[in-house]
Chains A and B, each alone.
Chain A
């Protein structure tokens, strides 16, 4: 998920150097590119942007769900949600580590997040208002993420592809637990059903936006697809998501908030309305409902943790010095 509007940089085929040509041939043969292999600068930069954005999305994504850990309605739901949000932090850790193999440190990536130079998925700039949102986020947001991430298990950069294998397994659990919450809510009291429908109403459009702008407006797709950093077009994935999600909503007895969303037997797909792209670009610019809160929360956590990280580093240096001194004394 979690990576949208990633700017890619590449060279047209006619202008490729022999190295670039050989690199492209490896990718075309389905070989994995590993950290020590030669790679074009553009490939490295594009991957850093994409993996960094993906990693940031995981840790910023902890916040909207983290909101509800202290308010979870049962001990079991609390434990499941806590485990889930912890998983997201773990995904962030894999992805920052994978990005480090490209020569960029986690601290540098954090700096770019905190300065606003790097983005995270704009879905996390929407608020979580009721408990049903924990269902909707798992079902729709993780569902959309899975659509994007399953193909990325075959992406050309080895560390990214391998991180994605683990992440996808966990995301599958997340989607199921989200759907399980939705089932309880949809079959529960009238107030619970109202919350469930309201959550679907609010998250439907933003979930569709997670796949990025329409292919006709997506300027960076072609190069990323040639490099197998991006495996499917935005519109393909969006259609697949709608086709899978609409019957799931029907099963819940909920209505997708789109009157034009109907099965098109001729196409073999559901027709559906484009999400509000104006809203998408506004949220991307920083004008979403929670952009300021999310970034503030990350910056605050980082700033308040400075003494803690410094303390651990100082101890590590002191104990290394003590070990060295002890070794000298022993000689």
Chain B
């Protein structure tokens, strides 16, 4: 390969590799994990890993739609950064899902070659960005859940799951700090920003409950000690949400929060198809191509 101009840095690629090597390996495939050989658990474990991966992938995808269109340069950068973290989490969760499945698929195969019925994310994360109020409230409701979930997962009986959770938790802690802060500032900002945030909250609230709606898959991974029971995460989530909303002068909606369910089982909103169409276009149009 002909030399590309050097920027005064000795060898940027070598530096990047060294930096990557210096980081602890959070998903080390050589770590022994008894759950990976548990055939009876496999379908539930795979499904649950797809839920974790798809939540990150679809929310990351939605956030990435803001890139270049944010309301302020700093926000543009912060949103892209959050999206980047989430895409990274999706790679890890879906990579482990593919490994657990044992059918020779990869994280990319799962992301780009499943149709809507096979996606396992909650409906909340696939809802359109709307204005920045919708994007931020959606992010806050999700971050508060993800924080509790990942914190619980660091004590998982699956060392592979615990490893991924430890990495993701550092980033999600920051996401939660940022989304909470912005919810407070905009809730207690101008009349208009307050109204927009309250509208967004009223609109999204009925989707939040799906994060806690346990089914047989959740029960199986909880029973195996892989993940915390969803009901155990709820009190902390409610406390965080109540505290932030109070400081933001926003009112928690009185309506039920578990109205829109089914995403985790593959019954999605109309919106998911419109996310997958562009996302999967190249892989579908040129099967087997290397990119």
Which residues of A are at the interface with B, using a C-beta cutoff of 8 A? 59, 62-63, 66, 69-79, 82-83, 85-86, 89-90, 92-93, 96, 106, 131, 143, 146-147, 150, 153, 165, 168-169, 171-173, 175-176, 179, 181, 183-184, 188-189, 191-192, 244, 247-248, 251, 297, 300-302, 304-316, 318
Besides the contacts A92-B73, A308-B71, A315-B186, what 13 more A-B pairs have beta carbons closer than 8 Å? A70-B279, A73-B282, A74-B108, A82-B87, A93-B73, A169-B9, A171-B7, A297-B68, A310-B192, A311-B192, A313-B189, A314-B189, A314-B193
- Tell which of A93, A188, A302, A318 touches B188, judged by Cβ atoms closer than 8 Å: A318
Which residues of chain A come closer than 8 Å to B188, judged between CB atoms? Answer: 315, 318
Question: Are B12 and A172 touching (Cβ within 8 A)?
Answer: yes
Interface flag for B180 (CB, 8 Å): no
Question: Are B6 and A172 touching (Cβ within 8 A)?
Answer: yes
Chain B proximity of A248: nearest CB distance (Å): 5
Instruction: Pick from B20-28, B74-82, B146-154, B257-265 the stretch touching chain A.
Output: B74-82
Which residues of chain B come closer than 8 Å to A310, judged between CB atoms? Answer: 189-190, 192-193
Which residues of chain A come closer than 8 Å to B5, judged between CB atoms? Answer: 143, 146-147, 150, 172, 175, 244
Instruction: Pick from B43-51, B203-211, B283-291 the stretch touching chain A.
Output: B283-291
Which residues of chain A come closer than 8 Å to B193, judged between CB atoms? Answer: 307-308, 310-311, 314
Question: Are B91 and A79 touching (Cβ within 8 A)?
Answer: yes
Question: Are A192 and B289 touching (Cβ within 8 A)?
Answer: yes
Give the interface SS of chain B, mostly helix, strand, loop or mixed: helix
Bound-complex Cα distance A306 to B67 (A): 17
Which A residue sits closest to B12, measured CB to CB? A172
Task: Please report the number of residue pairs spanning A and B whose Cβ atoms sit closer than 8 angstroms.
Answer: 187
- Tell which of A169, A192, A306, A316 touches B12, judged by Cβ atoms closer than 8 Å: A169
Which residues of chain A come closer than 8 Å to B278, judged between CB atoms? Answer: 70-71
- Tell which of B57, B84, B91, B194 touches A82, judged by Cβ atoms closer than 8 Å: B84
Question: Are B189 and A73 touching (Cβ within 8 A)?
Answer: no
Question: Are B68 and A62 touching (Cβ within 8 A)?
Answer: yes
- Tell which of B16, B81, B189 touches A86, judged by Cβ atoms closer than 8 Å: B81
Chain A proximity of B23: nearest CB distance (Å): 15
Interface flag for B137 (CB, 8 Å): no
Question: Are B283 and A176 touching (Cβ within 8 A)?
Answer: no
Bound-complex Cα distance A247 to B88 (A): 35
Question: Are B189 and A305 touching (Cβ within 8 A)?
Answer: no
Supposing A75-B91, A247-B2, A251-B1 touch, asked if A307 and B70 sit within 8 A by C-beta, the answer is: no
Question: Are B13 and A184 touching (Cβ within 8 A)?
Answer: no
Question: Are A172 and B4 touching (Cβ within 8 A)?
Answer: yes
Question: Are B4 and A305 touching (Cβ within 8 A)?
Answer: no
- Tell which of A71, A184, A315 touches B290, judged by Cβ atoms closer than 8 Å: A184
Which B residue sits closest to A146, measured CB to CB? B5
Which residues of chain A come closer than 8 Å to B196, judged between CB atoms? Answer: 307
Question: Are A77 and B73 touching (Cβ within 8 A)?
Answer: no
Bound-complex Cα distance A188 to B286 (A): 11
Chain A proximity of B75: nearest CB distance (Å): 8
Supposing A83-B84, A172-B7, A172-B9 touch, asked if A301 and B289 sit within 8 A by C-beta, the answer is: no
- Tell which of B7, B111, B189 touches A169, judged by Cβ atoms closer than 8 Å: B7
Which residues of chain B come closer than 8 Å to A73, judged between CB atoms? Answer: 112, 282-283, 289, 291
Bound-complex Cα distance A63 to B61 (A): 16
Question: Are A153 and B8 touching (Cβ within 8 A)?
Answer: yes
Which residues of chain B come closer than 8 Å to A308, judged between CB atoms? Answer: 71-72, 75, 132, 186, 193
Question: Are A314 and B190 touching (Cβ within 8 A)?
Answer: yes
Interface flag for B131 (CB, 8 Å): yes
Which residues of chain B come closer than 8 Å to A172, judged between CB atoms? Answer: 4-7, 9, 12
Top 3 A-B pairs, shortest CB-CB distance: A305-B71, A311-B193, A311-B189
Interface flag for B65 (CB, 8 Å): yes
Which residues of chain B come closer than 8 Å to A300, judged between CB atoms? Answer: 69
Supposing A73-B283, A247-B2 touch, asked if A311 and B90 sit within 8 A by C-beta, the answer is: no
Bound-complex Cα distance A255 to B193 (A): 54
Chain B proximity of A177: nearest CB distance (Å): 10
Question: Are B12 and A173 touching (Cβ within 8 A)?
Answer: yes
Which A residue sits closest to B95, measured CB to CB? A75
Which residues of chain B come closer than 8 Å to A311, judged between CB atoms? Answer: 185-186, 189-190, 192-194
Which residues of chain A come closer than 8 Å to B16, judged between CB atoms? Answer: 173
Supposing A73-B291, A308-B186 touch, asked if A66 and B67 sit within 8 A by C-beta, the answer is: yes
Bound-complex Cα distance A183 to B2 (A): 12
Bound-complex Cα distance A312 to B87 (A): 28
Supposing A85-B67, A311-B189 touch, asked if A79 and B73 sit within 8 A by C-beta, the answer is: no
Supposing A79-B84, A86-B81, A311-B185 touch, asked if A305 and B132 sit within 8 A by C-beta, the answer is: yes
The contact sample of 10 A-B pairs, CB cut-off 8 A, is A66-B68, A75-B90, A82-B64, A93-B73, A150-B5, A168-B7, A172-B9, A305-B72, A311-B185, A312-B189
Question: Are B289 and A71 touching (Cβ within 8 A)?
Answer: no
Bound-complex Cα distance A306 to B186 (A): 12
Bound-complex Cα distance A175 to B12 (A): 12
